[in-house]
Structure 1
Amino acid sequence: MRIVAAIGLGLVLLAGAAPAGAASVPGQDLPSAYGRQSARWGACPPAQKELRKAGARCAKIRVPLDYGDPGGPMIEIAISRVKAKGPRRGILLANPGGPGGTGLAYALSLRPALKGVADRYDLIGFDPRFLGDSTPITCAPGGPQRAPGRSSTARRDFEASVKSARDLARRCRENGDNATLLPHATTRNVARDMDLIRAALGAPKLSYYGVSYGADLGAVYAQLFPRRVDRMVIDSSTDPAATQYELFRRAGRPLEAGLDEWARWAAGRHEEYRLGRTAARVRATVENLVDRAERRPIAAGDTRLGAPVVRLLLRQFVQEQHYDAALAGLVRDLVKAASDNPGKPGPDLSRMLGLLASRDLAASLTGGALFMCGDAGWPAGGWPKDPETYWKNVQRSRAAQPVFGPLVNGMIAPCAFWTRPAGPVTAIGNDVPVLMVQARRDDNVPYAGALALHRRLTGSRLVSADIRAHGVYGRGTAGLPPAACADRAVNAYLAGGPLPERDLNCP
């Protein structure tokens, strides 16, 4: 039986965000060799088919491993460029979030949303340090996992997640020279790398779009290099004063509210999905499903799913209102799989099982852990060292957050067993002009976190979209209904227009 084991930090990195830690002063001066370098453009890697099709060119630049020791070891950052077609305003960098997302082709992917604005910028993609083609960090492969048994308990699932997190920390720390590299996997250093990209391209300033973790990265850059910001757009950001573990925990209530919203939708379609005629009955169906998986993992084809994975699958869909039908299909498939006569998994469940088994997913999880751990710090950054702290928080959460409380409170990361990162993490606060966009019903990074950042960025304007989603700008490029009001505001600003006179509310 193929295994989907109980998870620790796990697959939530598909949609997670990291705290926007940053220094309040620029970094030290660098040797002139860094400032004088220029990108040597060549063909993009064969795997980057879209970049090659668009006529992009790729290069690598050198950056210090440790900005506190700029004359020490160097690493390489992979970058791409699609040249402006019209009157050139400057360079536009972009980051897709994660953390742990590679971004070499991401700026290019924004071109349909940017429309004519794209022609005014050199679109610059980059893989953040230690990811993709940028001097990657790799962890030693894990050993074979045991398939979940036919019965389980919440405590047994939790202990498995602790063991998994501890093992990942060991495999990453002990592989090659990772012990030297890992402390330098911080958002602060990625922001500094971005400024060396700017310098290598000969640009006095840069413009930027980042979503989720990429939004926090943009806030860090604006803090470190305020005079080098042209147009800064950050989408779906977090409270910069919160630790990473606090951010995970704060998602519990919004996720439960999102589930209630979906349950009302599903109740109106009982004849199609058979999940309950009222929202209360639909929620009871989901809670019973999770309770059942906590005692007896659900057999779906050749895979057995424990409660942590079931909760995770629910989270992946409940964060986007236009996935309501897919979530209903998934729950229907899981209910059928948990029955005495399950049969073959349905299409929605089959797609998720394929994702769980993909190699690309495992790589993204490792990349996400690098920056979630580097920014959070240990032990002061907020990841408790004692596993019992997580377990107590799980138990306390069950009454008010029965579906997602155990997931977000029990998310023990390898950071609890990690190497201390290099350098401090300090607060953000400045008056740099920044355009923020945020979904009011984002149950991944709650709206309150964006408001907290907005207050610290006194020069910012906030565009709020009344949708349940994570990521607002350019939704149409992902096949989702666009938030047209937000798209117009972002494009007008990137085109050279002023910030809105006041915060905007988009229906």
Structure 2
Amino acid sequence: MRVVSAVTAGLGLAGLLTSGGVAAPAPAEVPKSRSSALSWGRCPAGQKELNEAGARCAKVTVPLDYADPGGRTIRLTISRVEAQSPERRGILLSNPGGPGGTGLAHTLALRPALKEAADQYDLIGFDPRFLGESTPITCGTAPRPAPAGPTTTPRADFEASVRAARDTARRCREHGDNAELLPRASTRNVARDMDAIRAALGERKLSYYGVSYGADLGAVYTQLFPRRADRVVLDSSTDPAATQYELFQRSGAPAEAALDGEVRADVRELLRRAERRPLAVKGQRLNAPLLRMIFKQLVQHEEYDPQLAAVVADLKKAATGEEIEPGPALAGLLELLSSPELESGMVGGALFMCGDGGWPAGGWPKNPETYWKNMRRSRATQPVFGPYVNGMIAPCAFWGAEPREPGTEIGNDVPALLLQARHDNNVPYEGALALHRRLTGSRLLTAEIRAHGVYGRGNDGLTPVPCADRAVNTYLSEGKLPAADLTCGGTSTS
């Protein structure tokens, strides 16, 4: 069970702001010989899979601000596993989503799903700017969270989340030279960085796979660099005309629909209790916002239903005052909630949630009362997830570092393969339809499942969608998009 990726995605760390705007100057075309100028060596410590696969890593220098190409620079870390086939196609980059996800080993991780198609490409991984090994941004040390008290109210829980968001924004803004860096954390700049990587490798085009936020990033690349996009696969994308707060709000209804029967009644009762008295489990008190976050992760994939049932059963015992030993699913989530990974994932996501342009501070309302009113209004139709998706106040509301340029209005005819699960409750299906209409050269493959991410699900121990895997690999290998949009019928599809 991919707990960390599920939590960062479920926190709304996905989406893309759009509006008109002219791209800053693109990186100049770099001759083929430039790739030999990169200094390739062993990948960083901790990248065991890359080093065992024989990958080599290098640094690519790019402008901090592409509008000032002669100014300050930053360094991106990239990895390369060379193509094995004599019929080499070129380079394949990827992004795992988030935003805030590091990707140095991500393209290599796709190799089992890519099968023979992997041999035709140099598999290029990269950590996006300001993340991982690419000039990382850090914020001031987070204070140790105050434990929940024995009693609470929905308003008290909300005000605590506002204080936390305000503090995160302050720590990020004031730490080091972040005031200069933060406004340059944008999807447009990551797309430009991808093109700089392409140029540094001496390639005229790049192919690409991106999932969730990575799909939105790929769409931006096709818009800024249409002639340099080769074979592009966008998995689980969003509506390019929506703000990130709107995208998060839209995930409430499909998440609510994923709960039915006895589990819905149990979940609602647990939340009713936790809104007055947080549930005590292994020395931690779980208030209603934390429970909603946990439940949101567990409804993303059909395969998580047994874990959801087990977590609910544990929590029902805890609600009676019984001291319990949580099962594996709940224990893993509790460990994550108390780990620094959650804080770092949220900060990494905030860099791009707040840095994308089009509206002040990434489109998140600045007045906390807007969130509170939306929370209260949502309870009538979305009693479980409405307060969560409407009340998640991001640090962007207090960011203080406005984007330096507008977002990217998507609309082009670059060929692309779009994948979407019809019952995705993280980035709803309607978003993929909206992007499909704007990418007029695209084909849309619909998977009749509840999931977030369609391609290569077997890599993560989830049920594969064979016809989707075949469509992606055929496209990457042979350049053949499906003749028309198509539907893969869940587990019955071969």
Q: What is the TM-score when the length of structure 1 is the normalising length?
A: 0.91
Map 1:263-282 onto structure 2 (within 5 A): 279=261, 281-282=262-263
Map 1:341-352 onto structure 2 (within 5 A): 341-352=322-333
Q: How far has the Cα of 1:338 moved from its partner? A: 1.2
Aligned to 1:184: 184
Structure 2 unmatched runs, 5+: 1-6, 490-494
Q: How far has the Cα of 1:142 moved from its partner? A: 1.5
Residue 258 (str. 1) matches residue 258 (str. 2)? yes
Residue 473 (str. 1) matches residue 470 (str. 2)? no
Distance (whole Å) between structure 2 residues aligned to residue 223 and residue 79 of structure 1: 23
Distance (whole Å) between structure 1 residues aligned to residue 460 and residue 30 of structure 2: 41
Deviations 1:412-432 (A, max 9, x none): 111111110111113100010
Distance (whole Å) between structure 2 residues aligned to residue 110 and residue 23 of structure 1: 34
Aligned residues between the structures:
479
Distance (whole Å) between structure 1 residues aligned to residue 72 and residue 197 of structure 2: 18
Q: Is the alpha carbon distance of 1:476 and 1:32 closer, same or farther for their aligned partners in structure 2, counting shifts above 3 Å?
A: closer
Aligned to 1:195: 195
Deviations 1:273-303 (A, max 9, x none): xxxxxx1x43221101011111101100111
Distance (whole Å) between structure 2 residues aligned to residue 23 and residue 423 of structure 1: 10
Structure 1 unmatched runs, 5+: 1-9, 261-278
Q: How far has the Cα of 1:33 moved from its partner? A: 9.0
Map 1:214-293 onto structure 2 (within 5 A): 214-260=214-260, 279=261, 281-293=262-274
Query: 1:474 touches 1:487 (CA, 8 Å); kept in 2?
Result: yes
Aligned to 1:59: 58
Map 1:85-164 onto structure 2 (within 5 A): 85-86=84-85, 87-164=87-164
Distance (whole Å) between structure 1 residues aligned to residue 360 and residue 31 of structure 2: 33
Q: How far has the Cα of 1:376 moved from its partner? A: 5.3
Distance (whole Å) between structure 1 residues aligned to residue 113 and residue 463 of structure 2: 12
**Which residue among 281, 300, 313 is the counterpart of 1:300?**
281
Distance (whole Å) between structure 2 residues aligned to residue 365 and residue 130 of structure 1: 14
Distance (whole Å) between structure 1 residues aligned to residue 403 and residue 230 of structure 2: 30
Q: What is the TM-score when the length of structure 2 is the normalising length?
A: 0.94
Letter in 1 for 2:25: Q
Deviations 1:45-65 (A, max 9, x none): 121000000000000101110
Query: 2:108 touches 2:123 (CA, 8 Å); kept in 1?
Result: yes
**Which residue among 24, 27, 30 is the counterpart of 1:27?**
24
Q: How far has the Cα of 1:496 moved from its partner? A: 2.1
Q: How far has the Cα of 1:366 moved from its partner? A: 0.9
Aligned to 2:432: 450
Map 1:302-321 onto structure 2 (within 5 A): 302-321=283-302
Distance (whole Å) between structure 2 residues aligned to residue 321 and residue 376 of structure 1: 35
Q: How far has the Cα of 1:21 moved from its partner? A: 3.7
Give 3-state SS (helix, strand or coil) of 1:259's partner: coil
Q: Is the alpha carbon distance of 1:376 and 1:398 closer, same or farther for their aligned partners in structure 2, counting shifts above 3 Å?
A: farther
Aligned to 1:501: 483
Aligned to 1:83: 82
Give 3-state SS (helix, strand or coil) of 2:487's partner: strand
Aligned to 2:42: 43
**Which residue among 440, 450, 453 is the counterpart of 2:422?**
440
Aligned to 1:74: 73
Q: How far has the Cα of 1:372 moved from its partner? A: 0.8
Deviations 1:133-156 (A, max 9, x none): 000000001123221100000000
Q: How far has the Cα of 1:346 moved from its partner? A: 2.5
Deviations 1:235-259 (A, max 9, x none): 0000000000000101110110111
Q: Is the alpha carbon distance of 1:430 and 1:20 closer, same or farther for their aligned partners in structure 2, counting shifts above 3 Å?
A: farther
Aligned to 1:427: 409
Query: 1:22 touches 1:187 (CA, 8 Å); kept in 2?
Result: no
Letter in 2 for 1:80: S
Residue 375 (str. 1) matches residue 356 (str. 2)? yes
Q: How far has the Cα of 1:13 moved from its partner? A: 5.5
Query: 1:312 touches 1:407 (CA, 8 Å); kept in 2?
Result: yes
Letter in 2 for 1:428: I
Give 3-state SS (helix, strand or coil) of 2:364's partner: coil
Aligned to 2:492: none
Aligned to 2:303: 322
Distance (whole Å) between structure 1 residues aligned to residue 9 and residue 488 of structure 2: 28
Aligned to 2:368: 387
Letter in 2 for 1:240: P
Residue 338 (str. 1) matches residue 319 (str. 2)? yes
Letter in 1 for 2:216: D
Query: 1:377 touches 1:415 (CA, 8 Å); kept in 2?
Result: no
Q: Is the alpha carbon distance of 1:29 and 1:236 closer, same or farther for their aligned partners in structure 2, counting shifts above 3 Å?
A: closer
Query: 1:251 touches 1:445 (CA, 8 Å); kept in 2?
Result: yes
Q: How far has the Cα of 1:27 moved from its partner? A: 3.1
Deviations 1:347-386 (A, max 9, x none): 2211111121222232111101111111156527421110
Query: 1:21 touches 1:220 (CA, 8 Å); kept in 2?
Result: no
Aligned to 1:459: 441
Query: 2:17 touches 2:357 (CA, 8 Å); kept in 1?
Result: no
Q: Percent identity?
A: 65
Distance (whole Å) between structure 1 residues aligned to residue 444 and residue 30 of structure 2: 39
Give 3-state SS (helix, strand or coil) of 2:158's partner: helix
Range with bigger deviation, 21-30 or 481-490 = 21-30
